[in-house]
Amino acid sequence: MPDISNAALTVLTTAEPYAKVRAARAAARDWRLGRLAHAFSAAMPDRPARPAAPELLPPNRMPKRGRAGSDASRIAMIHALAHIEFVAIDLAFDMAGRFGARFPRGFADDWMRVGADEAMHFALLDRRLRALGSHYGALPAHDGLWQAAEETAQDPLARLAVVPMVLEARGLDITPATIARFEGAGDLATARILGRILTDEERHVRAGTRWFRHGCESAGLDPIPTWQSLVARHFRGSLKPPFNDSARERAGLTRAFYMVGCH
């Protein structure tokens, strides 16, 4: 029987976007149906496979999105969000395959489900781009998200601290305003997609926070100062308001974590 790491590796080494989506869905389904062993024989790659497009640029070389509310600006925003979801597929399966052996089986349950969610989010956003006359890969994108994975590749607590509890939590903060922007432009179809993503993101942050606490408690560490120390060491940025305190609270990420300077 193949194991969970083999399935995760297949996702990570698949470059073409819709082949990656299919691999993600198949891996999550096979895990759910008991077709994968809870074993970890395969090592995860340093970097996942990537398609020829989009061109990946440093964040400071990304082109401006243009006039707010214009069709071009909306397409650029949706494309940027689609890229985030595309990379998030790999982040979820890398989490399961790289670190799953160090946690109870429920850890794999959560991150395989997250990976399937991210694949669905990407497919919804790319479908929306195509309805607007564009597609994923038509514009450049930045590679900052995977840098966070590289920075935390040896430490599951650092990965949990930075990816779900900083990067995905930031989605809880900014997505409501993004939804309002699309609603204001009359783009209710995109707003509905983002509403679905926001609901799922809260669950993803909750999973990250729960397993971070579990890992800290297993190691005899205090979760809050440990999180602050790991973020200061591994996150290339600063934690800036506004914060969606209510959504973060529902996800278990209380103000005690992030309302202290973690720069």
Q: Splitting the chain (263 residues) into consecutive groups of 10 residues, what average pLDDT does each group show?
A: 97 98 98 98 97 88 69 94 98 98 98 98 98 97 90 97 97 96 96 98 98 98 98 91 96 92 45
**DSSP state, residue 101:** G
- The pLDDT score that the predictor gives to residue 238 is 85
- Residue numbers of the domain that contains 113: 4-33+54-258
H-run or E-run covering 57: strand 56-57
**Tell me, what CATH number does 137's domain have?**
1.20.1260.10
Asked if residue 45 belongs to a domain, the reply is no
Asked if residue 186 belongs to a domain, the reply is yes
- The pLDDT score that the predictor gives to residue 58 is 81
- The pLDDT score that the predictor gives to residue 68 is 55
Q: Determine contact, residues 197/128, Cβ cutoff 8 Å.
A: no
Count: domains in the chain:
1
- The pLDDT score that the predictor gives to residue 42 is 98
- The pLDDT score that the predictor gives to residue 69 is 66
